Amino acid sequence: MPTNNERLLRRQFLRTGLINGLALLAGVSVLAGKGVASARPEANAQLGINVLIQALHSTENAVCIGAADRLERSQTSNAYYDLHLRNAGLGFVDAEIIAQAMRKLSLYEAPALRSFSMSYNPGLTDAGVVLLAQAFPATLTELGLVNCAIGDKGGVALLRWGRKAVGLRMICVEGNRFSARIRQEFAALAKEKTNLLVVV
Residue range 143-149: mean pLDDT, rounded: 98
Q: Is the pTM of this model over 0.85?
A: no
Domain 4-199: state its class: alpha beta
Residue range 137-144: mean pLDDT, rounded: 94
CB 162 within 8 A of CB 129: no
Q: Residue 32 has what pLDDT? A: 35
**Per-residue pLDDT tens digits for 53-89:** 999 999 999 999 999 999 988 855 678 899 999 999 9
Question: Quick one: pLDDT band at residue 161, thresholds 50, 70, 90?
Answer: very high
Closest residue by Cα to residue 72 from 48, 99, 94: 48
Adjacent-strand bridge partners of 123 = 91
> What is the C-alpha separation between 162 and 193, in angstroms, rounded?
10
Q: Inter-axis angle of helices 4-31 and 92-105, to 10 degrees? A: 10
Q: Residue 108 has what pLDDT? A: 83
> What is the C-alpha separation between 45 and 192, in angstroms, rounded?
34
**Per-residue pLDDT tens digits for 7-65:** 555 555 555 555 455 444 444 333 333 444 444 545 555 677 899 999 999 999 999 99
For residue 81, what is the enclosing H or E element?
A: strand 80-84
